[in-house]
Amino acid sequence: MLIRELLINEIKNIKTKGFYRRLNENKNDDTVINLSSNDYLGLAYNSKIKRTAKQIISKYPLSSTSSPLMYGYFKPHIDLENKLCKFKGGYERCILYPSGYQANLGIISALSKISFSKTFIAFDELSHASIIDGVLCSKTKFSRFKHNDPNHLKNILKKHSSYDIKIVITEGVFSMDGDIANLPDIIDVSKCYNAITIIDDAHATGTIGSFGGGSCNYYNGVKPDIIMGTLGKALASEGAFVLSDSLMIDYFINKSRPYIFSTAISPVAAGIALEALNIIENKPELVRKLQTLSQNIRIFLKNNGLNILNSNTHIIPILIGDEKKAAAIEKKFINEGILLKSVKYPTVAKGQARLRFSVNAGLRNIEIKKVLKKLSDLNNIKK
Ligand SMILES: Cc1ncc(COP(=O)(O)O)c(C=O)c1O
């Protein structure tokens, strides 16, 4: 019985602080405007991809039936890996993970367990929970560097230069702030100290760069040692990928426990992501539409006195501050048919609660108008 009492107390505490989370069914109602989806290009509803999915399902098993090393590795997986190697900037090899969370956990912890070597990790202070958990799982020495600050990173690496392996981790597009990592400087500093760079391109894939290629496409010529990304956002599927040279990927296949001990994504999930990449490649105007629409919305929100932090992408935070106020605004918007999720601690720092506006290239003009009208009134609602 004791555990029940303890749990009741924990939940009570969470509620008192305004950090309580609950599940809300997505009723798939097309009269509701969803501004919280990571389906940035609107491809999750694409009819061509749905037709491709049907063909794959008729040819392959519904599930992958096992982990990749136990023959859960089919042609759609191989085709997707090959495509990602090219699309993401010319990497030698790719592997697929069941989720981005597992990919980050898997690669970071594997790199920290190389025999007879001491590893040090530096990561951006605004990194996603899966990066933080990967670092904690690695049980190695680490430091957070100030957000997007190569000078601070440099000081940290200098102090830890005696470590055999040094790893620097950041995100291409930050999931809660919507700004883009200063990769040229971060990679330069890392190279000076012989540190391996890992970039999480979960929110950059399909969204930034001239053809939506992500970080390497946005900063033409920049090439991190390892790139990971997810299939569950702009690529309309689920799962994740990790790209690097053949040796590194071979090491992960042999040492990354979330890769080895988990069922592979289904052949249809791989086929969906591959078809999404084909569409992005053949229709770069879709990516440009997302970029232009995002820019116009950012300008509108700023002109209306809202604080969107340093967002320069399709992820636009609208800072509210107080957790309870942010939750109340979310509720008000739901009643008006708009899903605009409030994000609070521990996803972001305490007192930094915000509405996270994810722009979607599939939004119709009438929907955008309705949303912007409501948001222009937000300063009155906030009071
Ligand atoms: C930056 C970042 N990395 C990793 C992940 C985890 O990806 P997945 O949802 O595939 O587990 C997310 C998820 O939102 C993310 O935002």
Q: Summarize pLDDT for 280-303 with one digit per residue, the tens.
A: 999 999 999 999 999 999 999 999
230 lines ligand 1 (CB under 6 A): yes
Rounded Cα distance between 167 and 228, Å, is: 14
Question: Does residue 358 sit in helix, strand or coil?
Answer: strand
Q: Which residues of 53-67 are buried (b: 16+ CB within 10 A; e: fewer)?
A: beebeeebeeebeeb
pLDDT over 90 at 100, yes or no: yes
User: Are the beta carbons of 84 and 241 closer than 8 angstroms?
Assistant: yes
212 lines ligand 1 (CB under 6 A): no
Counting from 1 in the atom list of ligand 1, the atom nearest the Cα of 38 is 14
Check residue 265 and give its pLDDT: 98
Structural domains in the chain, sorted by start: 21-40+284-382 (3.90.1150.10), 49-282 (3.40.640.10)
Counting from 1 in the atom list of ligand 1, the atom nearest the Cα of 130 is 4
Tokens linked to 189: 């500093």
Task: Name the percent of the chain lying above pLDDT 70.
Answer: 99
Nearest C-alpha neighbor of 355 from the set 131, 173, 178: 178
Nearest C-alpha neighbor of 362 from the set 269, 283, 278: 283
Rounded Cα distance between 57 and 94, Å, is: 23
Q: What is the pLDDT of residues 193-240, one digit of tens each?
A: 999 999 999 999 999 999 999 999 999 989 999 999 999 999 999 999
Site to substitute for ligand 1 among 40, 133, 175, 177, most atoms within 8 A of C-beta? 175
Rounded Cα distance between 105 and 35, Å, is: 28
Torsion of CA 308, 187, 219, 125, to 10 degrees: -20
Tokens linked to 289: 């539409």
202 lines ligand 1 (CB under 6 A): yes
Q: For residue 65, what pLDDT band results from cuts at 50, 70 and 90?
A: very high
49 against 382, higher pLDDT: 49
Which of the 8 DSSP states describes residue 312?
A: -
Rounded Cα distance between 281 and 289, Å, is: 14
Contacts of residue 54, Cβ cutoff 8 Å, sequence gap at least 6: none
Poorest-pLDDT segment among 26-35, 105-114, 151-160, 299-308: 26-35
If you search the block for the tokens 């509405």, which residue do you land on? 355
Residue type, 5: E
Site to substitute for ligand 1 among 36, 130, 237, most atoms within 8 A of C-beta? 130
Check residue 380 and give its pLDDT: 67
Check residue 24 and give its pLDDT: 84
Tokens linked to 26: 């997505």
Q: What number of other Cβ atoms are within 10 A of residue 75's Cβ? A: 13
If you search the block for the tokens 């790199």, which residue do you land on? 111
Counting from 1 in the atom list of ligand 1, the atom nearest the Cα of 231 is 10
For the entire predicted model, the pTM comes to 0.96
Q: Is the dihedral of CA 37, 43, 46, 50 positive or negative?
A: negative
User: Are the beta carbons of 267 and 65 closer than 8 angstroms?
Assistant: no
Q: At what angle do helices 47-59 and 267-282 cross, to 10 degrees?
A: 150
Q: What number of other Cβ atoms are within 10 A of residue 123's Cβ? A: 24
100 lines ligand 1 (CB under 6 A): yes
Q: For residue 57, what pLDDT band results from cuts at 50, 70 and 90?
A: very high
Check residue 340 and give its pLDDT: 95
Distance 290 CA to ligand 1 centre (A): 20
pLDDT over 80 at 377, yes or no: yes
Nearest C-alpha neighbor of 217 from the set 226, 208, 225: 208
| Backbone dihedral region for residue 358 (phi beyond 0: left; psi -120 to 50: alpha; all else: beta) | beta
- Paired strand residues for 143: 122
Q: What is the pLDDT of residues 117-150, one digit of tens each?
A: 999 999 999 999 999 999 999 999 999 999 999 9
Check residue 17 and give its pLDDT: 82
Site to substitute for ligand 1 among 230, 259, 341, most atoms within 8 A of C-beta? 230
Distance 130 CA to ligand 1 centre (A): 7
Check residue 382 and give its pLDDT: 56
DSSP string, 229-266: EESSSTTSS--EEEEE-HHHHHHHHHH-HHHHTSPPPP
Distance 305 CA to ligand 1 centre (A): 30
Site to substitute for ligand 1 among 36, 38, 97, 101, most atoms within 8 A of C-beta? 101
200 lines ligand 1 (CB under 6 A): yes
Distance 380 CA to ligand 1 centre (A): 33
242 lines ligand 1 (CB under 6 A): no
Q: Per-residue pLDDT averaged across 152-177, rounded? A: 97
| Backbone dihedral region for residue 212 (phi beyond 0: left; psi -120 to 50: alpha; all else: beta) | left
